[in-house]
Structure 1
């Protein structure tokens, strides 16, 4: 139900390979979101390396995971900064590709005084990452235990990675974000589908706003062939329908101050992958991921907000003491 290979018996954590995007975040904060035709003065500007793929890779690595990243960057300053970030966080980047055809991806998160965000992404080099290039990296996938994917690279490249990982018997985690329709032909090849409420609604047509509607959506996704369906519900926690039909509901941790929700979902995915790589049971993985996500929203930025293992462990100890 978790990892298909033999790390549990060896006592060693599994290898996680994240295949996905790089997006440097150019973050603007203001009291309120700008309206159509309006010009306002903002409060601050920051530049952070990010992108769903590398966010999830760094999230897992900071928790102690053995993580490699596969994706594509432009030959530019943003690309060099992404490499420096991976090196600083212990993410193996030897299989990251570079191109002169397009610049590295950038995004423009806009954050209001309540910590809410709106994000525009220019994918750049991410969208030049081809399925043929994934095929050339088959040996990297073969040397991994868990493959983590999102949808900020071409969908055909995602499908190729799913197919290769499934054929090799590796555990596939798919975070269908940004929200998009995914071919049901690949559903049986996905071991863990992890959408948020909006993504689950797009995939099923069910308006997901609580555990009951999450159960309804998960039933549809299970019938489509997905094995474990874990739907995150923001402040309401998360709902899991496992491959054996069992259900797990995990509560969210309440935080007094929310600074920035950017990368909260990526923190959750990275922590989930880390827990699964250790052979943890789903309930433990979900609680750990919820803690990591809760800590992430108390800090600005994407990668800068991602917590370390010591921080998550201390947070869980303090909450248990309460």
Structure 2
């Protein structure tokens, strides 16, 4: 019986030998790892046929310790996130005719030893081994004694290991930020992580190569809440992260603090197996080539098993790294054009076209009604954004249906919600606007949440003032909040334009912090009732310390008072349909063109055109003019106005 089994197996070896064109003894030597004197070409041809026919010489070689099993092992420190690396290992193994057994040490050295024992019992041809710790090296002799080939991954100094080139990726993350002109950059790392250590090493080398100093105190660690304080107080403009999950957590934390990525801060990260499944936020990153690394180490192990020599002296796997996107990277704000911050009311405007204004005891007929976003803060922010400026709005809305309408509308107009707070107790502010046939308007306002915007809430988003050219202040919110905003604005080097709406007097400190005062004729008269003429009113404000006073006069244009100039400017020639947003259009255009480098007088003239467009249309936000339309009209009417002068304010 035994003899028959042996004869069957010999015939099988004979068939293999015939298919390969070699002798039976050559096949026997190859499958039993005794083929030192056989050419690599012959060895490869025989092994290919053996694997193809799934041949195992049970009787003849079952007791030979060197017999091939065509089984490989993968012993990982943990399999919680093996992901694509295992996929690469399996694909390479299958292509070469091998099967794979997976073992999980669960970060436990005793569990690891049990798995190594199992590997030896099963007489695997080779194993990919990720040691739990440096102490794992003491178990290596068990595998050596059984003739099991080993490829170590991430094994530390004591074990020559295959590894992904995280150092190079850390270098590239830093270089990307530097390419975007960042110099105050730091790393977001995970404690006790070999990957983080390698990324940080590459990061530091890149800074050194670019002559950028690094502050050790700025290193950020995932899970350490103090890192937010470092970001907010130390002038950091760019962050490179070793782990994608840590990047997502940081993104969420910064969002709650009204920081925008990439406007306020740039963020780059390594990406794990499948970040493409996360559609938002889109963080700029380098995808870790786990799949290709899996193929690389599996092919190296198979080469060892079949050739009995190392495939390469280079154990570091590298790839052609590229960034998945650049959505979360921008140049630092101080390199970008000056932005505009507006602080004021945000309302839901309900506009009614009427034959006459409401009077006591008299019913009037509403000819038409529309609902839009309004409030001087919102109007001025949208006005600046439409003129091509980076504009930010600080204000307060309720937590009601109206607030959703407002947020959606502002988002469409390109206004970020980072400075907009929600009040849990008061409704969104409302304005009821009555417009007569001649375009004149009467407005009644319910302040709602606007009345609760506090100085603390302005402080919480003061980073929005970084690189601001102007802060537009309107006084339909509490005066202490306006004062705090004016102080913060000055701290960041911006100029303040004050619209004194609904004020009976201006506090002395607000005069001190304001650069340009823009009341309308009625507001100017209310603030200095003893001054009867526009000239006297402007003189009064000027002597109060206001360097520039512009009193808007509706269809009469405006009057300017500075130390050098006292003059009237005519209004632009537009038919008046709705005057509600005229002043807001004027202020946002004035600031926008001063930032672009136009002189004060040029900017006033351009602003009168912007106001003219606005009052010639129904509504406010929808009536604000865009940059192309405005400049096309001016180019046809007064082309010399768009030629900048050398002595501009910015």
Give yes or no for TM over 0.5. yes
Query: Does residue 436 of structure 2 align to residue 112 of structure 1?
Result: yes
Q: Secondary structure at the match of 1:293?
A: helix
Query: Does residue 571 of structure 2 align to residue 239 of structure 1?
Result: no
Structure 1 counterpart of 2:447: 123
How many aligned residue pairs are there?
Answer: 306
Whole-Å separation in 1 of the counterparts to 2:344 and 2:354: 30
Moved over 4 A (4+): none
Q: Secondary structure at the match of 2:374?
A: coil
Structure 2 counterpart of 1:3: none
Does the 8 Å CA contact 2:431/2:444 hold for their aligned counterparts? yes
Does the 8 Å CA contact 2:468/2:492 hold for their aligned counterparts? no
Displacement, 1:203?
2.0
Does the 8 Å CA contact 1:206/1:216 hold for their aligned counterparts? no
Deviation track 1:210-230 (CA, whole Å, cap 9, x = no partner) reads xxx322212111111112111
Query: Does residue 379 of structure 2 align to residue 55 of structure 1?
Result: yes
Whole-Å separation in 2 of the counterparts to 1:248 and 1:11: 36
Whole-Å separation in 2 of the counterparts to 1:125 and 1:251: 37
Query: Does residue 506 of structure 2 align to residue 182 of structure 1?
Result: yes
Whole-Å separation in 1 of the counterparts to 2:530 and 2:599: 28
Query: Does residue 249 of structure 2 align to residue 249 of structure 1?
Result: no
Query: Does residue 514 of structure 2 align to residue 195 of structure 1?
Result: no
TM-score (norm: length of structure 1): 0.90
Structure 2 counterpart of 1:273: 591
Structure 1 counterpart of 2:424: 100
Displacement, 1:207?
5.4
Whole-Å separation in 2 of the counterparts to 1:53 and 1:137: 16
Q: Secondary structure at the match of 1:312?
A: helix
Whole-Å separation in 2 of the counterparts to 1:140 and 1:58: 16
Structure 1 counterpart of 2:475: 151
Does the 8 Å CA contact 2:351/2:433 hold for their aligned counterparts? yes
Does the 8 Å CA contact 2:341/2:392 hold for their aligned counterparts? yes
Structure 1 counterpart of 2:338: 14
Displacement, 1:279?
2.5
Displacement, 1:95?
2.0
Whole-Å separation in 2 of the counterparts to 1:62 and 1:168: 24
Displacement, 1:143?
4.1
Structure 1 counterpart of 2:328: none
Does the 8 Å CA contact 1:200/1:206 hold for their aligned counterparts? no
Does the 8 Å CA contact 2:472/2:497 hold for their aligned counterparts? yes
Deviation track 1:100-133 (CA, whole Å, cap 9, x = no partner) reads 1101000100111221111100010000101122
Does the 8 Å CA contact 1:188/1:227 hold for their aligned counterparts? no
Structure 2 counterpart of 1:228: 548
Q: Secondary structure at the match of 2:468?
A: coil
Does the 8 Å CA contact 1:163/1:186 hold for their aligned counterparts? no
TM-score (norm: length of structure 2): 0.45
Q: Secondary structure at the match of 2:577?
A: coil
Q: Which has the higher contact order (CA 8 A, sep 6+)?
A: 1
Displacement, 1:157?
0.6
Structure 2 counterpart of 1:306: 624
Displacement, 1:173?
0.8
Whole-Å separation in 1 of the counterparts to 2:515 and 2:611: 22
Q: From 405, 409, 432, give the equivalent of 1:85.
A: 409
Q: From 340, 358, 366, give the equivalent of 1:34.
A: 358
Comparing 167-176 and 117-126, the one that deviates more: 167-176
Does the 8 Å CA contact 2:340/2:468 hold for their aligned counterparts? yes
Comparing 98-107 and 196-205, the one that deviates more: 196-205
Whole-Å separation in 1 of the counterparts to 2:483 and 2:553: 26
Q: From 537, 547, 571, give the equivalent of 1:217.
A: 537
Displacement, 1:180?
3.3
Whole-Å separation in 2 of the counterparts to 1:291 and 1:314: 11
Q: Secondary structure at the match of 1:230?
A: strand
Query: Does residue 444 of structure 2 align to residue 137 of structure 1?
Result: no
Whole-Å separation in 2 of the counterparts to 1:100 and 1:201: 37
Structure 2: stretches of 5+ with no match in the other structure: 1-333, 640-650
Whole-Å separation in 2 of the counterparts to 1:45 and 1:271: 28
Q: Secondary structure at the match of 2:638?
A: helix
Larger gyration radius, structure 1 or structure 2: 2
Whole-Å separation in 2 of the counterparts to 1:193 and 1:226: 7
Whole-Å separation in 2 of the counterparts to 1:232 and 1:36: 30
Q: Secondary structure at the match of 2:538?
A: helix
Displacement, 1:160?
1.2
Q: Aligned Cα RMSD in Å? A: 1.8
Structure 2 counterpart of 1:164: 488
Whole-Å separation in 2 of the counterparts to 1:206 and 1:258: 31
Structure 1 counterpart of 2:400: 76
Does the 8 Å CA contact 1:248/1:283 hold for their aligned counterparts? no
Displacement, 1:145?
2.4
Does the 8 Å CA contact 2:474/2:499 hold for their aligned counterparts? yes
